[in-house]
């Protein structure tokens, strides 16, 4: 649940970050930014803003926008029937991006959102600078977090089916509900 006023504010701040980074997105695209609070109702703490610039039946391209210290919850893209699951390429574009995948716990720069210790299980930290990139195979648990200035990153992938994503936090609901003031 997110209040209409907060939803508008988050969208506005996300569009401003795109402009600050000097990225070529049209006004129409910026207007379609999606705000995902994952049903946790604490958008500035856990959430992500998504600008989907293409999404065909075969491939998708999204710009993900994180505000200052905002965290995208831990999740993974499972296989679905005959589909091996979403393969995703992450490419850092602007700001400091803290990315977490399975492996040795070397967490140093990021933090687990307060009270959420059990919902962030992978803690191998990769600090991504603009132009850094990684490939996530289906099923790989991952979460990420912006530095103090926020962060912009691309997500390129095979067919998207967000509704089938797995999340570590059992409280998560993928659909954002907007509460009118």
- Contacting positions for a second copy (CB under 8 A): 22, 24-26, 29, 53-54, 56, 58-59, 61, 87, 89, 91-94, 130-133, 135, 156-158
Between 2 and 153, CB nearer to a second copy: 153
129: left (phi over 0), alpha (psi -120 to 50) or beta: beta
User: 22: number of CA atoms within 13 Å, CB side?
Assistant: 0
CB of 115 to a second copy, least distance (A): 35
Residues 156 and 22: their CA atoms lie apart, in Å, by: 20
Token couple for 181: 């003031």
Q: Which is nearer to a second copy, 112 or 134 (CB)?
A: 134
The least CB distance from residue 59 to a second copy, in Å, is: 5
Nearer to a second copy, 80 or 173 (CB): 80
DSSP notation for 64-94: EEE-TT-EEEEEE---BTTB----EEEEEEE
CB of 133 to a second copy, least distance (A): 7
125: β partners: 100
| CB 173, min distance to a second copy, A | 29
* DSSP structure class, residue 80: B
Least spacing, CB of residue 102 vs a second copy, in Å = 19
139 versus 178: smaller Cβ distance to a second copy: 139
Furthest-apart CA atoms within the chain: distance in Å:
45
**Between residues 63 and 122, which has the closer beta carbon with respect to a second copy?**
63
């Amino acid at each position: 649940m997110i209040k209409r006023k907060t939803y508008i504010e988050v969208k506005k701040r996300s569009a401003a970050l795109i402009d600050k980074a000097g990225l070529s997105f049209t006004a129409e695209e910026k207007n379609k930014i999606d705000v995902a609070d994952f049903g946790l109702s604490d958008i500035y703490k856990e959430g992500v803003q998504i600008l989907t610039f293409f999404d065909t039946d075969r491939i998708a391209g999204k710009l993900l926008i994180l505000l200052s210290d905002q965290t995208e919850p831990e999740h993974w893209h499972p296989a679905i029937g005959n589909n091996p699951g979403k393969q995703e390429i992450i490419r850092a574009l602007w700001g400091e991006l803290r990315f977490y995948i399975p492996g040795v716990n070397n967490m140093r720069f990021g933090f687990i959102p307060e009270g959420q210790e059990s919902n962030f299980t992978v803690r191998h930290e990769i600090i991504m600078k603009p132009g850094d990139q990684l490939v996530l195979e289906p099923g790989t648990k991952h979460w990420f977090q912006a530095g103090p200035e926020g962060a912009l990153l691309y997500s390129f992938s095979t067919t998207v089916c967000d509704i089938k994503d797995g999340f570590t936090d059992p409280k998560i609901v993928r659909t954002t509900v907007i509460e009118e003031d």
